[in-house]
Amino acid sequence: MMNGKQYVESLKALRPRVYYQGEKLDAPYDHPAILPHVKTAAVTYDLAGDPKHADLMTATSHLTGETVSRFTHLFWSVDDLVRKIEMLRLIGQETGTCFQRCVGLDGINAIWSVTYEIDRAKGTDYHARFRKYLERLQREDRMTAGAMTDVKGDRSLPPWQQPDPDMYVRIVERRPDGVVIRGAKTHITGAVNSHEILVMPTLGLPPEGADYAVICAVPIDAPGLTLVFGRQTNDERKEEGGMFDCGTSFGVVGGESTLLFEDVFVPHDRVFMAGEGEFAGSLVDRFSAWHRANYGGCKAGNADILLGATTILAEVHGTIKNSIVKDKLTEIVHLVETIYASAVGSSAMGTQLPAGNWLVDPLLANTVKQNVTRFLYQIGRLAHDLGGGLLSTLPSDADFRNGEVGGLLTKYFAGKQGFATEEKRKLCRYIENMTSVATLVEAMHGAGSPQAQRIVMLRQANLPEKARMAKKVIGISEK
């Protein structure tokens, strides 16, 4: 396995085509807008090398018997599912922000399970291809970005009826040695600083949509692939560097990109579905279940840091002993532990798939994410309430460093004795950044919109069976 430094060096050996704010970046991994995302992901590599965290951060590969990063591991038991949630909370606590590796992890598990079933039904060799690919990922400890969300165009129309057929990624040419794909994926977390892109369909597909049923692995610097790094509300602050206005030494990050596939050739050994659209729905459902459960781990870890920062700021303000303040902090605790408990619960109730890996309980997993779409906003509201208006009006770090007004600002923004004004500023900036539009919208729409979860929840709830149970208990005869 790599450590954080080796991970950064491995990226710099790549030559991806990356654009940001209209500029082609010749050295993207040194650019101040992208470097924080690289540094945050590097923490996951360093934690894996720490013996103190080995039980969470690493696992024994059932493919090779070697110790591998849990981010390249298949969920081979309920214990693996639970440990993943524990791992995500740990990393959330260590970074205080998004660490960008979850989508790839869930992607490899979804692809493993579906390729097994395609091969059994169709006599293909996708699963054998993917096994070799996964062994390489584990051996080289490579970071993957899962690319599922298409740009979608007119959402009232299916992919094959779009006026422009490229609104969903599709196969435009089938060759003896591989396929050529075209289209765009968007909102792809961690794509710029990953080694590989796992392209997956975003919905189930009938026979007429077969060209859109494609799963494949594309190197980040493959010819024809262009990445456009998205904006965040705090991106200019990240470019300033430093600790204060960024919120942390990394900045509060997510690193979403739009991926433009312009006739990208993918050789057969990297193609794991090429037209079998009847299996695409299962892929999406399983991936979504695993990924939605994740949010109860990583967001709980991030919220732990937000809760800690809010608590310290209340101390700085001199309000920590107030019973109302304590009650609001208690409410944050309740919200955080609720999403974490439901993520652990969905993992504990997992079931084994035909391919051998384990799936979380889909109903509970979607409930996790539904709660996250609400609770993170409420946690942010409480942090804003306790932090005060200073979260939105604090002068910049440059003003505090100004020779004429900096000293006066330091004096007048002091809090309780024993706390430096500098510490108060750090707390305010972290809370502000961590509860920004970018972070809250990601909590809302990451892994699917709230309505997507409600659709699955209703489907999984099995209302007819619950109605039958009620009739039995109440004494209503079946008709």
Q: Which pLDDT score, from 0 to 100, does residue 244 have?
A: 73
Closest CA to 287 of 118, 112, 137: 112
Question: Which segments of 141-279 does DSSP mark as H helices, in order?
Answer: 235-240
Measured on CA atoms in the order 49, 103, 446, 219, is the torsion positive or negative? Answer: positive
Q: Which domains does the chain have, with CATH numbers?
A: 4-277 (2.40.110.10), 282-471 (1.20.140.10)
Q: Which pLDDT score, from 0 to 100, does residue 241 have?
A: 62
Which stretch of 23-27, 196-200, 244-248, 407-411 has the lowest confidence by average pLDDT? 244-248
Mean pLDDT of 226-236: 86
Q: Which pLDDT score, from 0 to 100, does residue 478 have?
A: 84
Q: Which two tokens stand for residue 178?
A: 């591989």
User: What residue type is 176 in one-letter code?
Assistant: P
Whole-angstrom CA distances from 208 to 36, 161, 203, 277 are 43, 10, 13, 9
d(CA 55, CA 32): 34
Per-residue pLDDT of 410-457, as tens digits, reads 999 999 999 999 999 999 999 998 998 888 898 999 989 999 999 999
Closest CA to 148 of 94, 207, 212, 95: 212
- What DSSP assignment string belongs to 95-146? HSS--S-HHHHHHHHHHHHHHHHHHHHH---HHHHHHHHHHHHHHHT--EEE
Percent of the chain with pLDDT over 90: 91
Which active-site residues does the annotation give? 98, 102, 189, 256, 291, 295, 298, 442
Q: Which two tokens stand for residue 219?
A: 């190197």
Per-residue pLDDT of 42-93, as tens digits, reads 999 999 999 999 999 999 999 999 999 999 999 999 999 999 999 999 999 9
Q: Which pLDDT score, from 0 to 100, does residue 89 have?
A: 98
The model's confidence at residue 232, banded by pLDDT at 50, 70 and 90, is confident
Per-residue pLDDT of 127-166, as tens digits, reads 999 999 999 999 999 999 999 999 999 999 999 999 999 9
Closest CA to 200 of 146, 157, 155: 146
C-alpha 133, offset from chain centre: 22
Which stretch of 62-71, 239-248, 388-397 has the lowest confidence by average pLDDT? 239-248
On the question of pLDDT at 407 being above 70, the answer is yes
Counting every residue, how long is the chain?
Answer: 479
Backbone angles phi, psi at 371, to 5 degrees: -65, -40
Per-residue pLDDT of 253-276, as tens digits, reads 778 999 999 999 999 999 999 999
d(CA 29, CA 195): 12
What 3-state class would DSSP assign to 243?
A: coil
Residues 6+ apart with CB under 8 A from 441: none
For the entire predicted model, the pTM comes to 0.95
What mean pLDDT is reported for the chain? 95
